[in-house]
Amino acid sequence: MLNQLVAFILGEQQYALVLTAVQRVLRMVEVTPLPKAPEIVLGVIDFQGTIIPVMSMRKRFGLSEPETNLSDQLIVADTARRCVALVVNSVTGVLERTAEAVTETEKIIPGAQYVEGITRLEDGILFIHNLEHFLSKKEEQQLDGLLAGAAGRE
């Protein structure tokens, strides 16, 4: 079975999301701050009439967070609970990997909940990100309350 992955760059490292989770890739737009949001939430955007949170993968991975740049891109993706936008430097394309070419992260780094698999590229390693574990339960609940409040003010 082939895994189709949307590959992107964050800093110097390449990551990917499973293609079926990705709705669209957008150019960076202005992000409206969301007061009292979890630290990894940069704010919200209006995506086709729906308010969705913009997440910082850099903060989640403990990377430095430079100012967002107009050359950055947003990956709009679905989790089981919500639609989110992720800030990335650039999307590099769609890759296909066989299941055998992907090593489960648990076999290499037990407890690495944000990354579900690792595969080799010609020029390095690609980390396959697991969006379902991106937010903690507490962050999910906090965000649910804030988004419900923001929707009620419209």
Q: What would the mean pLDDT of 46-73 be, rounded to a whole number?
A: 85
Number of CB atoms found within 10 A of residue 71's CB:
9
Closest CA to 84 of 125, 149, 133: 133
Query: Which pLDDT score is estimated for 151?
Result: 63
pLDDT tens per residue across span 25-54: 999 999 999 888 888 899 999 999 999 999
Range with the lowest mean pLDDT among 65-74, 89-98, 105-114? 105-114
Asked if residues 6 and 14 have their Cβ atoms less than 8 Å apart, the reply is no
Query: Which DSSP helix (H) or strand (E) runs through 43?
Result: strand 41-47
Asked whether the predicted pLDDT for residue 137 surpasses 70, the reply is: yes
Alpha-carbon gap, residue 58 to 69, rounded angstroms: 14
Here the tokens at position 13 are 């490292």
The per-residue pLDDT for 66 is 72
pLDDT at 134 over 80: no
How sure is the predictor about 77, in pLDDT bands with cuts at 50, 70 and 90?
A: very high
- Residue given tokens 């066989």 in the structure block: 98
CB 52 within 8 A of CB 83: yes
